[in-house]
Structure 1
Amino acid sequence: MASVFAQPATPPGDTKEQIVQVYALQAGHLTLPERFFVNPASDTARKTVPSLAFLIQHHNTETNETTRILLDLGLRRNVERYPEPIQRHIDTRQPLTTDPDVTKSLAAGGLTPDDIDYVIYSHVHWDHVGEPRDFQRSRFVVGNGALALLSGSSSSLRGSHSFFESDLLPQDRTIELRNPYERDSPEPQSEPVKKPAPGKVDFDRAWTSYGHLPRVLDIFGDLSVLIVDAPGHLPGHINILARTGPTTNVYLAGDACHDRRIMRKERAIGEWHDAEGHICCIHGDKKMAEQTIDRIRELEVNGVEVIFAHDVEWEENERNKGRFFGSS
């Protein structure tokens, strides 16, 4: 089925659509107790899932420049480098493996961390942040609200998975996206504001709507890579919609959903009671998470390929084995 987002991706007069290459990267595996993620589920059901990262390559044919972006870094190869609270949480996620990590997966295709221009985090949970210190020349991009989480100044979240590192990111190389819910206040301009040329990455472009997605950021200005506001899971949670062909698009959905049975409406989002009797959910705002899942489901119905960060069904599909970076 052709995608509803198959309209021309370049300004009038251009003859070529701008597309990007998207590769999956192995970045570790962890084991999830199902009752924390889906309902109904037995107390003993567990599933080992990947923590996928993705390489996006955008080639500007006019300037002959290639921009390389990673979405997420997966698991840290040395789990002893996580803070003690996360290490205790990791004990509940065994078996867990970190080989290959994202740097080893890049090497399988002939790249190093120095080849990566930007690392975009879908969100800052421990199983997605990897080892940022490997990426000494990359700039880091996080959704609005993520820096407050890292600094500990955001509202508290329940669950042992919600522990954040204040020193995770280099301040001088980190970009936090603008609030997608605040409109720019128009100010009188003495001169017209010069807009960045299509094909040049700019994370300060305006948030706009696209199809039935209410808030997207067209970072190259050519509709090839859209950052999508994906609320519900964690403050600053973002996804990416990438155009991979004239009529094909891939939606990288992060932790918007942890189990495809929820997408198929075979299960609901799980909830549980903590030691104090509070109702907990893997999503910070369950209702908003359900709305985000509904929008993603509509994308999939209309022919967009959807891949979640812990998408074990996608990983185990034989057709996808050759879509990992460096695979033969």
Structure 2
Amino acid sequence: MPSESARPPPPKAAAVVSVHALSGGHFSLPEYQFVHPVSRDARRTVPSLAFLIQHSNQITGKQTRIVFDLGLRRDVKRYAPPIQKHVETRQPMTTDPDVTKSLANGGLAANDIDYVIYSHVHWDHIGEPRDFPTSTFIVGHGALALLDGTSSSLRGGHSFFESDLLPEGRTVELSEPSPHALKRNDSRTAPGEINFNGSWQAYGGLPQVLDLFNDGSLLIVDAPGHLPGHINLLARLSDDHQVYMAGDACHDRRLLTGEKTIGEWNDVHGHVCCIHADRKQAEQTIERIRVLEKDGVEIIFAHDVEWENNPANKARFFGACSE
């Protein structure tokens, strides 16, 4: 019988994060612009979900708080005029509670948030950055070019961007995901330490991910198709529970089931419009998400009205247990 000192140490528990949903407002969508086939008159009220992710370093105990997306802007009059015009087509809309109020429901202030990660820079995800005066903002590669000027290659009233959206000196744009990129030496980053400059690598069926804390607990996932710089998050909540925050990779659960396909429409000039900048890439991203779901990963997209309306998920909103 081996002595106590000779026994191998118990296996170390896998690093995990906690994930809570944050309400970021609600608005109305014309379904034909998102799914096909569907009645031209069909509309659906959907949430603009954000998420609070909290990570604790297993070695140092350091706590890192991240908010993924900021939902709708509390005062829609603070959007740029072209976006305000587009907002008129998304009524009825509610912006109370917004993300800051949702954080306050659980006892956190905006100053408690270390990082704000944007899935992308469309108007219904950017919220009010000035509410987070101490946070560092993270965007996917290509997002800054969009903010420098509205792209003429993108059609639709949703494709306007604010050049002054992000704070100078507190914004990080991720490197370009590329299968041909030289692998950087990430060994200097200890497990549990956050690093936005790591190497993009394959993970399972996902071709490009960044291991944000170098411990497998939170991955940034390149999710091309919807908009340049579009990224998702894959979080490990426990040994047997992963949650994938899909942003706008998918707008309707019927796209995951295959009941519907991505919608298209003609603008006033007769040009074909799609909510995704690159439909083919968007379809490939949706297929990868579909595989994840079949493998048991929980999928939540930003406008996931079915997830929000599921009574079992009410307690998963930040602060719900203390109300």
Q: Under a length normalisation based on structure 2, what TM-score does the superposition of the two structures give?
A: 0.94
Q: What is the CA deviation profile of residues 182-227 of structure 1, one whole-angstrom value per residue up to 9, with x for unaligned ones?
A: 644479xxxx875210100000000000001000000100010000
User: Are 2:262 and 1:265 equivalent residues in the alignment?
Assistant: no
Question: In the aligned structure 2, how far is the partner of 1:114 from the partner of 1:309?
Answer: 24
CA change 1:218–1:41 in 2 (3 A) is same
Query: Which of 43, 49, 52 pairs up with 2:49?
Result: 52
CA change 1:182–1:210 in 2 (3 A) is closer
User: Are 2:85 and 1:91 equivalent residues in the alignment?
Assistant: no
2:4 alignment partner in structure 1: none
CA change 1:13–1:179 in 2 (3 A) is farther
1:201 alignment partner in structure 2: 194
Return the letter of the residue paired with 2:58. Answer: T
SS at match of 1:241: strand
1:43 alignment partner in structure 2: 40
2:3 alignment partner in structure 1: none
Give the CA RMSD over aligned residues: 1.6
Q: What is the CA deviation profile of residues 128-166 of structure 1, one whole-angstrom value per residue up to 9, with x for unaligned ones?
A: 000000101100000000000000175531000010000
Query: Which of 165, 168, 171 pairs up with 1:168?
Result: 165
2:285 alignment partner in structure 1: 292
1:230 alignment partner in structure 2: 223
Q: What is the CA deviation profile of residues 246-270 of structure 1, one whole-angstrom value per residue up to 9, with x for unaligned ones?
A: 1110000000011101111111100
SS at match of 1:289: helix
* Structure 1 residue 62: Cα displacement: 1.3
CA change 1:226–1:80 in 2 (3 A) is same
Gap runs ≥5 in structure 2 = 1-8
CA change 1:153–1:278 in 2 (3 A) is closer
Listed as ranges, the matches of 1:99-248 within 5 Å are: 99-152=96-149, 154=151, 156-181=153-178, 183-185=180-182, 195-248=188-241
Return the letter of the residue paired with 2:86. Answer: H
1:249 alignment partner in structure 2: 242
SS at match of 2:225: coil
Question: In the aligned structure 2, how far is the partner of 1:21 from the partner of 1:262?
Answer: 27
Listed as ranges, the matches of 1:293-312 within 5 Å are: 293-312=286-305
Q: Is the 8 A contact 2:276 2:282 kept in 1?
A: yes
Question: In the aligned structure 2, how far is the partner of 1:318 from the partner of 1:133?
Answer: 33
* Deviant stretches of 4+, over 4 Å: none
Gap runs ≥5 in structure 1 = 1-11
Question: In the aligned structure 2, how far is the partner of 1:196 from the partner of 1:314?
Answer: 36
Question: In the aligned structure 2, how far is the partner of 1:200 from the partner of 1:308?
Answer: 27
Deviates more, 1:152-161 or 1:301-310: 152-161
Q: Is the 8 A contact 2:186 2:199 kept in 1?
A: no
Q: Under a length normalisation based on structure 1, what TM-score does the superposition of the two structures give?
A: 0.93
Question: In the aligned structure 2, how far is the partner of 1:121 from the partner of 1:113?
Answer: 15
* Structure 1 residue 276: Cα displacement: 1.0
Return the letter of the residue paired with 2:204. Answer: G
CA change 1:225–1:194 in 2 (3 A) is closer
CA change 1:93–1:181 in 2 (3 A) is same
